[in-house]
Amino acid sequence: MLNIKIVSWAAGTFTAVSFIFCVIYGLVTPESIHMHQFLEIVLPAFEWLSVGSFFLGLIESFAWGAYIGLVYVPIYNFFYKRWGSVTA
């Protein structure tokens, strides 16, 4: 059984750190190969790149990760209760 609080915080932190890496990658590579268009599509109101937009993207990234944890854990736990104790 998974703990929803731990998984949600871990997934939120993972996506926030991934966002930071994507921004750093975008700053050190030529514009033709970085992901600013993808970030602008998946993060509402995010625009490449200002200080306010960076923090908005960071918060939105964390929220997406937390959402994944909040949805995934109950689904996982449901199936674990149903079939988890069956040994092959």
Q: What is the pTM of this model?
A: 0.87
Query: Which range among 2-6, 10-14, 82-86 shows the weakest confidence by mean pLDDT?
Result: 82-86
Instruction: Report DSSP letters for 34-86, one per residue.
Output: S-HHHHHHHSTT--TT-HHHHHHHHHHHHHHHHHHHHHHHHHHHHHHHHHTT-
Q: Which two tokens stand for residue 66?
A: 């937390």
Is there a domain that residue 31 lies in? yes
Length of the chain as a residue count: 88
Is there a domain that residue 87 lies in? no
64 to each of 3, 57, 85, how far by Cα in Å?
Answer: 18, 10, 31
Mean pLDDT, to the nearest integer, of 64-85? 94
Number of structural domains (the chain) is 1
Say if residue 38's pLDDT is above 60.
yes
pLDDT at res. 66: 98
- Domain hosting residue 15, numbered range: 4-81
Question: Distance between CA atoms of 28 and 43, rounded to whole angstroms?
Answer: 21
